[in-house]
Amino acid sequence: MHELLSGNEAIARGAYEAGVTVATGYPGTPSTEILESLVAFKDQVYCEWSPNEKVALEVAAGACFTGARCLVTMKHVGLNVAADPLMTLAYVGAVGGIVIVVADDPGMHSSQNEQDSRHFARFAKIPILEPSDSKEAKEFVRLGLEISEQFRTPVLLRTTTRVSHSRGLVELADRTPPTREIKFEKDPPRFVPIPLWGRIMRQQVEKRLADLRAFACTSAANRIESGDRDLGIITASISYEYVKEVWPQASVLKLGMSYPFPDDLIRQFATGVKRVLVVEELDDILEEHIKAMGIACEGRSVISGIGELSPLRLTEARAKLDGHAAPALAAAPAADLPARPPVLCPGCPHRGVFHALAQHDVVVTGDIGCYSLGVFKPLARIDTILCMGGGVTLAHGMDKAGEKRKVVGIVGDSTFFHSGITGVLNIVFNRGASTIIVVDNRTTAMTGHQDNPGTGRTLMGQPTNAASIADIARACGVKRVRTVNPYNLAETKAAVAEELAADEPSVIVSVAPCVLKEKVRPGPRRAVAADICKTCGLCLKLGCPAMEGGPKGTQPVVNDLLCAGCGMCQQVCKFGAVAAVEEGL
Ligand SMILES: Cc1ncc(C[n+]2csc(CCOP(=O)(O)OP(=O)(O)O)c2C)c(N)n1
């Protein structure tokens, strides 16, 4: 049977079919749907959202040590968080197969940076598989698990946004049930990398790499597609699909297993063609290596490493390579199209916190989540973003450096559990005075409403303990901890003002569920009475997409279809011009 699956769904299917019994991860676009699809098989596959990627990888490592086949999922920046266990797991190695899916985001569709996870394969000295489509995405999970068990190594499976989110035909197969008995076999020299044994493991890693290099040269994942000998293209991942479209006649070396570099195969391919072109998205990892092998090739000279590749960009590269002027392929977008930056949804509870902060001259160190959108005008209350958890720690750093203004850190609930807690602990430990606001919308909203340790429900749908952010803050030693309802602007403003004035650390937990998750309006829709409105523009400063209006002096109007009924506009109006609309009218 065939099914049209996205790359992420295909990976989930591959894990199910290949007998994975433990799957862990932390959400992050474009990887999130893998576990969300795999959980459909929860009777056979244990699935969990872990609090962060490091935890996810360590949980899977423990499971794999007992002989279980495991899958771990994360986005590219998540692998930075999981890098510590990864580097040493590469020494200790696998028992049951372990495949770590890392989803890169060239073009930064929904990420704070554009990093190339292939470096991690080389860095950790472990193999990496790069599917080009959904069919391979499924097959490479099984292949990765087999390689993992045969060579006792963790295996990276790297997708990119296009591979993760494009759909393709995939042939389904039955599940191969796991055959290993689940039992941890005690063997300290095998599992304990103290220097004595770690040095031996270090030697084994090099031997394994040589064995894997030989395997990569013969694996069906790496293949030569013979064509015109004038041009030979070495490529991997989604770039392969673009290459087939733009250079249908060329000879191609397609690398499904791109590290360890299959040197002999590369040499064999290069000697059979007149000119070698390397087509790779982001960094010139293959090109550098091929050049270091003494093989002349082109790549970066005609294709920039910034942003996502596309058939269009490669058509331009082709013209450059052939010495022609680049064809005018894309019509330039109309210059007068209005910019449409993303905005907080109508009714988003985060808006109340930004409104309260707008009353103060403070520095706000933001974090990653829906509340990042508070950076845009008219809210404009986020001054920095670095990485998950950075909202808390940057605040403390500014404070300790002597920043004159009060520094406020903002994190979401999922981010607090991911990597905010240690930052709060640090503020107390090191006698800081920052105010941290946790905008707790009872979900991991930005990535699509995943559960987290505070929501009281697991990925598999079981009820569980809902961790209390306020209790954790108190346990970290914060004396000033309070909870506010962000829809109540007076309450929120008073709490923010009091905590900013305090000379000691404080945590404000702003609690109200995400309106898109609950699908319940917090209150009745609102309307502006034109005869009362003074067109002062205060309501527009909330930046609510449902409040439509031009510059100061023009009459604002509530868009009925968008209004979520949070009532903040009514609270900010000084003239009583905004009122609830009776339903049914
Ligand atoms: C290390 C890392 N892992 C995952 C992500 C993807 N990601 C972006 S925001 C976010 C969580 C947002 O949830 P929360 O903090 O609760 O804020 P909300 O979006 O609900 O306002 C995640 C997981 C990331 N950017 N960095």
Cα 535 to ligand 1 centroid, rounded to whole Å: 37
Give the chain's domain count.
Answer: 4
Tell me how far the alpha carbon of residue 115 is from its chain's centroid: 11
Instruction: Provide the pLDDT for residue 422.
Output: 98
Output phi, psi for 329, to 5 deg.
-100, -35
Q: Is residue 344 part of a domain?
A: no
Output phi, psi for 81, to 5 deg.
-65, -35
Residue 388 Cβ contacting ligand 1 at under 6 Å: yes
CATH code, domain carrying 139: 3.40.50.970
Nearest CA to ligand 1 atom 2: 78
Q: Where is the domain boundary, 218, 242, 264?
A: 218
Residue 345 Cβ contacting ligand 1 at under 6 Å: no
Residue 90 Cβ contacting ligand 1 at under 6 Å: no
pLDDT digits over 549-579, tens only?
877 778 999 999 999 999 999 999 999 999 9
Nearest CA to ligand 1 atom 11: 369
Domain of residue 91 covers 2-218
Residues 448 and 544 in one domain: no
Residue 340's pLDDT band (boundaries 50, 70, 90)? confident
pLDDT digits over 486-536, tens only?
999 999 999 999 999 999 999 999 999 999 998 888 899 999 999 999 999
Q: Is residue 118 part of a domain?
A: yes
pLDDT digits over 391-430, tens only?
999 999 999 999 999 999 999 999 999 999 999 999 999 9
Residues 531 and 584 in one domain: yes
Q: Is residue 545 part of a domain?
A: yes
Is residue 458 pLDDT above 60, yes or no?
Answer: yes
For the record, the structure tokens of 430 come out as: 């090191």
Q: By C-alpha distance, which of 174, 120, 526, 513 is closest to 350?
A: 513
Q: Is residue 558 part of a domain?
A: yes
Output phi, psi for 305, to 5 deg.
-90, 10
Instruction: Provide the pLDDT for residue 10.
Output: 99
CATH code, domain carrying 276: 3.40.50.920
Cα 117 to ligand 1 centroid, rounded to whole Å: 19
Residue 415 Cβ contacting ligand 1 at under 6 Å: yes
Residues 68 and 106 in one domain: yes
DSSP strand pairing (435-440 vs 506-511)? parallel
Q: Is residue 334 part of a domain?
A: no
Residue 438's pLDDT band (boundaries 50, 70, 90)? very high
For the record, the structure tokens of 377 come out as: 């005008």
- The minimum-distance atom of ligand 1 relative to the CA of 445 is 20
Is residue 331 pLDDT above 80, yes or no?
Answer: no
Residues 301 and 405 in one domain: no
Q: Is residue 114 part of a domain?
A: yes
Average pLDDT in the 298-308 region? 96
**Using alpha carbons only, what angle is made at residue 549 by residues 547 and 555, rounded to the nearest 5 degrees?**
110
Q: Is residue 336 part of a domain?
A: no
Instruction: Provide the pLDDT for residue 584.
Output: 54
Q: Where is the domain boundary, 495, 518, 541?
A: 518
Residues 506 and 534 in one domain: no
Residue 301 Cα distances to 226, 240, 246, angstroms: 24, 19, 18
pLDDT digits over 156-177, tens only?
999 999 999 999 999 999 999 9
Residues 105 and 226 in one domain: no
Instruction: Provide the pLDDT for residue 585.
Output: 43
Is residue 208 pLDDT above 90, yes or no?
Answer: yes
Instruction: Provide the pLDDT for residue 583.
Output: 67
Is residue 265 pLDDT above 80, yes or no?
Answer: yes
Nearest CA to ligand 1 atom 1: 78
pTM of the model: 0.97
Residue 81 Cβ contacting ligand 1 at under 6 Å: yes
- The minimum-distance atom of ligand 1 relative to the CA of 414 is 16
Start-to-end Cα distance in the chain? 52
Of 7-16, 24-33, 284-293, 324-333, which range is least confident? 324-333
Q: Is residue 535 part of a domain?
A: yes
For a substitution probing ligand 1, which of 379, 414, 516 has the most ligand atoms within 8 Å of its CB? Answer: 414
Residue 166 Cβ contacting ligand 1 at under 6 Å: no
Residue 443 Cβ contacting ligand 1 at under 6 Å: yes
Residue 369 Cβ contacting ligand 1 at under 6 Å: yes
Residues 196 and 234 in one domain: no
Residue 420 Cβ contacting ligand 1 at under 6 Å: no
Residue 446 Cβ contacting ligand 1 at under 6 Å: yes
Residues 354 and 290 in one domain: no
**Using alpha carbons only, what angle is made at residue 112 by residues 416 and 99, rounded to the nearest 5 degrees?**
75
Instruction: Provide the pLDDT for residue 518.
Output: 85
Instruction: Provide the pLDDT for residue 220.
Output: 97
Residue 372 Cβ contacting ligand 1 at under 6 Å: no
Instruction: Provide the pLDDT for residue 153.
Output: 98
Instruction: Provide the pLDDT for residue 553.
Output: 78
- The minimum-distance atom of ligand 1 relative to the CA of 78 is 1
Nearest CA to ligand 1 atom 15: 412
Residues 284 and 168 in one domain: no
For a substitution probing ligand 1, which of 343, 373, 415 has the most ligand atoms within 8 Å of its CB? Answer: 415
Residues 128 and 209 in one domain: yes
Residues 8 and 117 in one domain: yes
What mean pLDDT is reported for the chain?
96
Q: Give the CB-side neighbour count of residue 467, counting CA atoms within 13 A.
A: 19
Q: Where is the domain boundary, 182, 197, 218?
A: 218
pLDDT digits over 365-381, tens only?
999 999 999 999 999 99
pLDDT top residue among 331 and 461: 461
CATH code, domain carrying 563: 3.30.70.20
Cα 421 to ligand 1 centroid, rounded to whole Å: 15
Residues 226 and 212 in one domain: no
